[in-house]
C-alpha cells in the first residue's frame, strides 16, 4: 500500500500542484498522454502512482463537445448470441480508449427508443446499434442517427445509420442448402410467419433463390408466434407441422438456431430421430451457431457467424466514423460470410 499519500487530491488543480505542473498541462495529458513532453509525462505518471487521482468524469464530459462514451444497443440480451457479440465489441472499445455502455431493448420498441433518447443526453461519441428490426420505429431511429454517429450491426435498416456491418445471409443459406442437398433431399425452410428480424426475410429469399437455381421445388413452412421466445415458438410450430404431416422433405433448414432448438426439442418429444444415421428420419440444419447449438440433442449443424470479423469491423467502422467527424460520404454495407459447422443433426 504505497498509494494513500497523506494528501487527498480533490481536483486537477491540486493534482497539478503535487506533480509540479500547471493544470492546463495536466489537462492536456489526460486528453492525450502523447501530447506532452516525455519528461513531463513521466512526472505526471509518477504522481499518479503516488496519489491516485482521476479526473471528474462529469466535469470532463460537460465541457467536451464529444465524450468518450459509446453506446451499444442490442435487441434482446437474454439471447446469448447478443451477449457474446456485445462482449466482443465491449472489449475492443475499451482497448481503443472508449467507455462502452451496454443496453438491451428486451424486444420492446418503446424501450429501444427510450434507450436512444437517454443516450442522446450522454453526448456519445458514437453508437453501435443492432435494431429490433421490423418493430423498430424507423422514423425515430433515423432522426437519432442524424444527431449521433451510429453504425448499425447484425440487423440492417435500409439507408439508416452511417454504415451497416453484418453477416451475409446469402452465404449462410447457400452453404447449408448446398450441403443438405448434396448428402440427401433438398430441405424445407422453417421460419416464423412474421419474423422480427430482417435477416429472416433475406434468408428466406436466399433459400428460394438457391432452390430455384438448382431447379428444385421449395417448401417454406411458416409457423405462428410473436415475440422473442423463439425456442418455444419453434417447438410449438414443429409439433403443428408434424401433426399436419405435410412436410415434403426429410430435411429442414431453420431460419435460426433458436427455432431449431425448439424444433429439436419437439422431435425428441415425438421420438423422431434426427441426424445422418440410418435410423434417422430427419435432418435439421440451421443458421447462427448459437452458443448452445453445440449442446442440443443431437448437436446442431449450422452456419456460423464470423463473430470476430463482424464485431471488430463494426468497431473499426465506428472509430473511423468518429474520426471522420460523424459523417461518411456514402453508406457502406459490409457483410461477412458464414462458416459451415458440421455437427450431428445433419
Partner DNA sequence: ACAAAATATTTACGCGCGGCAAGTTTTTTC
Partner DNA sequence: GAAAAAACTTGCCGCGCGTAAATATTTTGT
How many amino acids of this chain bind DNA (CB under 7 A)?
29
Residues 211, 215, 219, CA angle at the centre, nearest 5°?
A: 45
Give the residue with the Cβ less far from DNA, 7 or 56.
56
Binding region for a copy of itself (CB under 8 A) out of 98-106, 157-165, 238-246, 247-255: 98-106
> Mapped to the 3 state alphabet, what secondary structure does the chain carry?
CCCCCCCCCCCHHHHHHHCCCCHHHHHHHHHCHHHCCHHHHHHHHHHHHHHCCCCCHHHHHHHCCCCCEEEEEECCCCCHHHHHHHHHHHHHHHHCCCEEEEEECCCCHHHHHHHHHHHHHCCCCEEEECCCCCCCCHHHHHHHHHHCCEEEECCCCCCCCCEEEEECHHHHHHHHHHHHHHHCCCCEEEEECCCCCHHHHHHHHHHHHHHHHCCCCCCEEEECCCCCCHHHHHHHHHHHHHHHCCCCCCEEEECCHHHHHHHHHHHHHHCCCECCCCCCCEEEEEEECCCCHHHCCCCCEEEECCHHHHHHHHHHHHHHHHHCCCCCCCCEEEEECCEEECCCCC
What's the rounded Cα separation, in Å, for the pair 244 and 2?
A: 74
Q: How far is the CB of 325 from DNA (least distance, A)?
A: 14
**What residues between 152 and 211 interact with a copy of itself by CB under 8 A?**
none
- Residue 30 engages DNA in binding (rule: CB under 7 A): yes
Q: Which does 65 bind (CB under 5 to 8 A by kind): a copy of itself, DNA, none?
A: DNA
Give the residue with the Cβ less far from DNA, 53 or 153.
53
Task: Please say whether the beta carbons of 192 and 233 come within 8 A.
Answer: yes
Residues 6+ apart with CB under 8 A from 211: 177, 186, 217, 218
Q: Which does 122 bind (CB under 5 to 8 A by kind): DNA, a copy of itself, none?
A: a copy of itself
For residue 223, list its beta bridge partners.
Answer: 192
Give the residue with the Cβ less far from a copy of itself, 100 or 149.
100
Q: Which does 28 bind (CB under 5 to 8 A by kind): DNA, a copy of itself, none?
A: DNA
- Residue 324 engages DNA in binding (rule: CB under 7 A): no
> Contact letters (x/-) for a copy of itself, 229-268, by CB under 8 A?
--xx--x-------------------------xx-xx--x
What's the rounded Cα separation, in Å, for the pair 95 and 82?
A: 20
- Residue 35 engages DNA in binding (rule: CB under 7 A): yes
**What residues between 46 and 85 interact with DNA by CB under 7 A?**
55-56, 59-60, 62-65
**What residues between 70 and 89 interact with a copy of itself by CB under 8 A?**
77-80, 83-84, 86-87
Q: Which does 35 bind (CB under 5 to 8 A by kind): DNA, a copy of itself, none?
A: DNA
Q: Which of 40, 181, 229, 309 binds DNA (CB under 7 A)?
A: 40
What's the rounded Cα separation, in Å, for the pair 257 and 237?
A: 14
Q: How far is the CB of 52 from DNA (least distance, A)?
A: 13
Q: How far is the CB of 333 from a copy of itself (least distance, A)?
A: 27
Give the residue with the Cβ less far from DNA, 24 or 80.
24
Q: How far is the CB of 43 from DNA (least distance, A)?
A: 8
Give the residue with the Cβ less far from a copy of itself, 186 or 234.
234
Which residues contact DNA by CB under 7 A? 10-13, 15, 20-25, 27-28, 30-31, 35-37, 39-41, 55-56, 59-60, 62-65
Which residues contact a copy of itself by CB under 8 A? 54, 56-59, 61-62, 77-80, 83-84, 86-87, 99, 101-104, 106, 118, 121-123, 231-232, 235, 261-262, 264-265, 268, 291-292, 294-299
Amino acid at each position: 500500500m504505497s498509494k494513500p499519500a497523506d494528501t487527498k487530491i480533490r481536483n486537477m488543480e491540486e493534482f497539478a500542484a503535487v506533480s509540479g505542473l500547471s493544470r492546463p498541462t495536466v489537462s492536456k495529458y489526460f486528453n492525450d498522454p502523447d501530447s506532452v513532453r516525455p519528461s513531463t509525462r513521466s512526472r505526471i505518471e509518477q504522481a499518479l502512482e503516488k496519489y491516485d487521482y482521476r479526473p471528474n468524469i462529469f466535469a470532463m464530459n460537460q465541457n467536451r463537445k464529444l465524450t468518450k462514451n459509446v453506446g451499444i444497443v442490442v435487441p434482446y440480451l437474454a439471447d446469448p448470441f447478443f451477449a457474446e457479440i456485445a462482449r466482443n465489441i465491449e472489449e475492443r472499445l475499451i482497448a481503443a480508449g472508449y467507455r462502452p455502455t451496454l443496453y438491451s431493448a428486451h424486444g420492446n420498441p418503446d424501450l429501444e427508443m427510450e434507450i436512444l433518447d437517454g443516450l442522446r443526453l450522454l453526448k456519445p461519441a458514437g453508437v453501435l446499434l443492432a435494431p429490433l428490426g421490423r418493430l423498430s420505429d424507423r422514423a425515430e431511429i433515423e432522426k437519432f442517427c442524424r444527431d449521433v454517429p451510429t453504425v448499425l450491426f447484425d440487423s440492417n435498416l435500409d439507408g439508416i445509420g452511417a454504415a451497416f456491418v453484418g453477416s451475409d445471409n446469402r452465404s449462410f443459406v447457400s452453404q447449408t442448402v448446398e450441403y443438405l442437398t448434396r448428402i440427401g433431399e433438398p430441405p424445407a425452410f422453417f421460419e416464423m410467419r412474421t419474423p422480427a428480424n430482417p435477416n429472416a426475410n433475406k434468408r428466406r429469399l436466399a433459400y428460394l433463390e438457391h432452390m430455384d437455381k438448382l431447379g428444385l421445388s421449395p417448401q417454406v413452412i411458416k409457423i405462428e408466434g410473436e415475440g422473442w421466445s423463439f425456442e418455444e415458438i419453434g417447438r410449438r410450430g414443429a409439433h403443428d407441422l408434424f401433426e399436419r404431416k405435410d412436410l415434403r422433405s426429410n430435411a429442414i433448414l431453420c431460419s435460426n438456431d433458436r427455432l431449431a432448438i425448439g424444433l429439436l426439442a419437439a422431435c425428441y418429444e415425438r421420438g423422431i430421430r434426427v441426424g445422418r444415421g440410418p435410423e434417422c428420419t430427419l435432418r435439421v440444419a440451421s443458421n447462427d451457431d448459437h452458443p448452445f447449438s453445440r449442446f442440443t440433442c443431437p448437436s446442431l449443424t449450422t452456419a456460423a457467424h464470423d463473430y470476430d470479423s463482424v464485431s471488430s469491423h463494426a468497431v473499426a467502422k465506428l472509430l473511423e466514423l468518429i474520426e471522420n467527424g460523424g459523417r461518411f460520404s456514402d453508406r457502406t454495407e459490409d457483410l461477412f460470410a458464414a462458416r459451415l459447422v458440421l455437427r450431428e443433426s445433419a
